[in-house]
Chain A
Amino acid sequence: MRNFNYKIRKRIIFLFYFCVILFLLLFFRLMEIQAVHAYKFKILALKQHLGTIELPAIRGNIFDCHGEPLAKSLELPSIAVNPKEIKDTLKAAKILSLILSENEKNILNKITSQTTFVFIKRKVDYNLAKQIERLNLEGVFLIKESTGKRFYPKGNLASHLIGCTGIDDQGLDGIEGYYDQSLRGTQGKVETEIDNLGIAIPGSFLKISPSLAGNNLVLTIDEEIQYLAERELKSAISLYHAKRGNVIVMDINNGEILALANYPNFYNENYFFTPKENLRNSAISDAFEPGSIFKVFLASAALDSGKVSLDDFFYCGNSINVGGWNIHNANDGLTSAAGKENLANIITYSFNVGTTSVALKIGKETFYKYIKAFGFGDHTGIDLPGETTGSIIPLEEWALSNLATCSFGQGIAVTPVQLIAAISAIANGGKLYRPHIVKAIISPNGETVKEFKPQLIRQVISFKTSLEMAEILKQVVEKGTGKKAQIPGYLVAGKTGTAQKCDRGVYVNNYIASFLGFFPVDEPRFAILVKIEEPQGIIWGGYVAAPVFKSIAQELLWHYGIPPSLPINNLRGKS
């Protein structure tokens, strides 16, 4: 009996110690997990339910000078699928193609691809996305994009100026491309604990890196003037069956571009489907031989250099031989009865022979110096991509014939923006300003980040020369080739141009009709260039381009409330 009790006791003690050892093992293991490796497991646990939610960075908006929006970004979701989760691919493809108005075959190809993620359509209309979400299709889900989709509320207004963006809201052309860094926002993120549906758990760990929306741009462009310029240009091109054209309106006292119209233009949303030749901003990137409008700069050079005065007379016959080349007047019926004219009449009636005589008097060095001083052959510095400098033969290669032809704007290639900047210098007392499109960069909360003040490049001609030139160009409109630019009650100055086009070094039977002018002459405020390429039938600048100048100038005067400076015969002034 005693033995039996002893054995049982021994077993109990053995069991007891066994349990103690087991307990100790468990205890040490617990200590290892909870204490020694605590940090490691904590991180693992956090990783499992810590999620990152990206905060979208919306691109800045673009406004005109009155705050009208020209470009805006909206947050839109994208539709994506996990092809491996879709059971009925045909049904899914049919439904998606119906809702998204996409090709069913294309969608089916994406749904049946060997991948776990594919976009069906990016940045779709919000209502369509909600429709798809409500259907709760297996394997189909909405993705919140980190960038918005660009919209252009004003249609194709100022399309070349504004440019376009890519699918990821990155600027590709125009102002969108040039100021991409300013317009682009900075993405943010929220690190927080999420549940199994990916929804943030309120009140849990939260780390926010806020997103910053892009800055907004305020342009110098006036929406109304821009629309007006585009409408009048399109009307003239349609009337004369022309190939293309440009209109630029500039404030002469500060270099602000109020309107820059090119035709043909395009819809910014259809940028990638537009023919490449229509995408080019020809106002800054296409150089052309300006023809007679360039005589303005010859006359300015002649007067400002002091080598020519208003009382000097120059040979103005039907032709003149220069360096073996015969120079003729234009075949427009205007001839000099006396065979000699002063500078004012040479410009008023646009005598090529007369300008050749003037050029020969001032010499190639002086003329070349003023051509460069007016900014020709250099970038104007306008804040748009793709600007070209034009083409001027180097001075050391100038023959007498080059001097003669350059005097009436042939043998030299300039861009429309160079011309408008140069005529503004003549109108405002001789100051050449840098043309610019953007007035200010504004932060999302309305603070001015940067303001673009007028940038004076140089004093080109004296104030006295500027006044003399204004008088001469006023005569062009009053009694010369620019009569169709007259505006009742206002003094207008300008010059017509009809330049023969040069195609691969050969002059062809196509012309560029142009008018370059400013107004009101007594207190100049605006300059306008109108350029119509290859008008059919009537080719003269005074007939094709001058009326467009007049239409735009009249509206501009009305728009800015500039009263007439001349008495009008009756109170009902005619448009």
Chain B
Amino acid sequence: MLTIFNERAKKVKSSPLKLVFNRISLVLSFIFSINLISIVYLNQCAKLVNYQYKSCQLREIKDTLERQNNILQVKEENLSNFERIEKLAKVKLGMVMPVNRIVLNLSSSVLQASRVPYFALDKFSKR
């Protein structure tokens, strides 16, 4: 009986230390996991902000490209204006205004019977 009591007494004497040790390690691991979660969370937030900044940059690039596209469109329309084309045709290519025009008045029955030059039909297409 006394032996058991002594053993129990020994156990009681040693358990406060262990208890304290357990409690300390619990607190420490809790603090550690909180820190770990915080670090991971902050890292993700930082990544998110980074991606958002990149997306802003890409949007800027997209706007720039759109702007350049608009400028090119205006340039292209400018180059295709009739005055410039006529000048090029006359001066550089030596083209002249047509003197004669061929007028073909075709009925639908004639169209079925023979091949008709595309240009003639084009001239009579109504806008």
Contacts and interface: CB of A to CB of B under 8 A. Distances in A.
Interface size classification for chain A: 35 or more
A155 B81 contact: yes
Nearest to B48: A203
Contacts of B48: 203
Interface in A153-168: 153-157
A47 B34 CA distance: 34
Contacts of A134: none
Contacts of B98: 575
A19 interface: no
B55 to A, nearest CB: 7
A74 B71 contact: yes
Given A560-B127, A564-B103, A126 B56 contact: no
Nearest to B104: A571
Interface string A88-101: 00000000000000
B43 interface: no
Contacts of A417: none
A69 B77 contact: yes
Contacts of A156: 83
A524 to B, nearest CB: 16
Given A75-B67, A126-B68, A151-B74, A558 B100 contact: no
Looking at chain B's contact residues, is the secondary structure mostly helix, strand, loop, or mixed? helix
B56 A202 contact: yes
B74 A574 contact: no
Contact of A203 (B49, B81, B123): B49
A53 to B, nearest CB: 12
Given A157-B83, A571-B103, A573-B101, A561 B125 contact: yes
A568 interface: yes
A155 B103 CA distance: 34
Contact of B123 (A200, A224, A489, A558): A558
A153 B86 CA distance: 16
Interface in B85-125: 86, 98-105, 123-125
Contacts of B73: 72
A202 B81 contact: no
B29 interface: no
Contact of A126 (B55, B67, B123): B67
A151 B71 CA distance: 10
B82 A74 contact: no
B82 A227 contact: yes
A87 interface: no
Contacts of A564: 103, 105
Interface string B56-70: 100000000001101
Given A203-B49, A223-B82, A561 B126 contact: yes
A489 B67 CA distance: 51
B83 A227 contact: yes
A446 interface: no
A156 B83 CA distance: 9
A224 B102 contact: no
B124 A563 contact: yes
B14 interface: no
Interface in B2-52: 48-49, 52
Contact of B56 (A157, A200, A560): A200
A199 interface: yes
Given A154-B77, A563-B105, A575-B100, A74 B70 contact: yes
Contacts of B78: 151, 153-155
Contacts of B123: 558, 561
A115 B71 CA distance: 33
Given A561-B125, A571-B102, 16 more contacts: A74-B67, A74-B70, A154-B77, A157-B82, A202-B55, A227-B82, A231-B86, A558-B101, A560-B126, A561-B126, A561-B127, A568-B103, A571-B104, A573-B102, A573-B103, A575-B99
26 contacts: A68-B77, A74-B71, A74-B74, A75-B67, A126-B67, A126-B68, A153-B74, A153-B77, A154-B77, A154-B82, A155-B78, A157-B82, A200-B56, A201-B49, A202-B52, A203-B49, A227-B82, A227-B83, A558-B101, A561-B126, A572-B100, A572-B101, A573-B100, A573-B102, A575-B98, A575-B101
**Chain A to chain B: the 6 pairs with minimum beta-carbon distance, closest first:** A202-B52, A153-B77, A227-B82, A561-B124, A573-B103, A153-B78
